[in-house]
Amino acid sequence: MKCGFCGATFVKVNKLQVYCTPDCRIKAMLARKSEKARQARQGRVCPVCSGAVPASRTASASTCSPHCTSVQSNQKRAARRAARPRCKTCNAELSRAGARYCSYECRYDGTKGDLKEQVRWNTIRRKYGLTREGFELLLREQRGRCGICRTTEPGLKGWSVDHDHVTDVVRGILCTRCNIGLGWFRDDPDLLIQAAAYLRQPTAASDRSRLHDVP
């Protein structure tokens, strides 16, 4: 029996033996891999100059020459630089992939609005048991107006949830001024009636001028 690699004559130990020694078996396996790689390298096209890639180039080389390899590396580097993300706050170029902000200051400035909004809705849910959808539904029922003065301006602190301090039942949505006013009057209807009567009572001009004459 002749060896399948070196051609030497040997005596087979079993029916499956093809090579005379383990070294010949390993060399034959490497030769087959090398031939497959050489066949795979044939017919390749350089992505830079569109020329044929020589078969002498390694299997991992995708270009036809070291010059094209350098050009390809520069192109990839430029593409990565162009696709590099930018800071969501100051639009500065980010050096780390997956980052959204370039510094802690930009991260704070970029997220403080979202955090404030999230904290506000969580507080409303915890204190009044009112979800954001329920809040918006109640405001739509009031036609987007304050429940007392009927203004469409919510005020500096936004729309406020008015509730009964005894039963904790939500009564409606008020603007900032009306909500603060009810708080100063301690939610007492009698005090509000007295305040309304006080504002409606006539004041004589002579009485008012008499007060200014006092030294």
Is the CATH number 3.40.1800.10 carried by domain 130-200? yes
Q: What is the mean pLDDT of residues 19-38?
A: 82
The string of pLDDT tens digits covering residues 60-116 is 777 888 888 888 888 888 877 666 778 888 888 777 767 788 887 787 777 766 777
pLDDT at 182: 92
Specify the DSSP class assigned to residue 161. E
Contacts of 122-127 with C-beta under 8 Å, sequence gap 24+, read 124/161, 127/161
Confidence check: pLDDT of 14 > 90: no
CA gap 38, 57 in Å, rounded: 9
DSSP secondary structure letter of residue 174: E
pLDDT digits (tens, 9 = 90+) for 151-195: 999 888 889 999 988 888 999 999 999 999 999 999 899 999 999
CA–CA separation, 41 and 151 (whole Å): 77
| Total-model pTM | 0.45
Query: Got the DSSP string for 3-71?
Result: -TTT--B---SSTT--SSSHHHHHHHHHHHHHHHHHHHHTT-B-TTT-PBPPTTS-TT--SSSHHHHHH
Q: Has residue 43 got a pLDDT over 80?
A: no
Q: Which two tokens stand for residue 26?
A: 């390993």
Domain boundaries, the chain: 1-41, 130-200
Can you tell me the distance from the alpha carbon of 174 to that of 162, in angstroms, rounded to the nearest whole number?
6
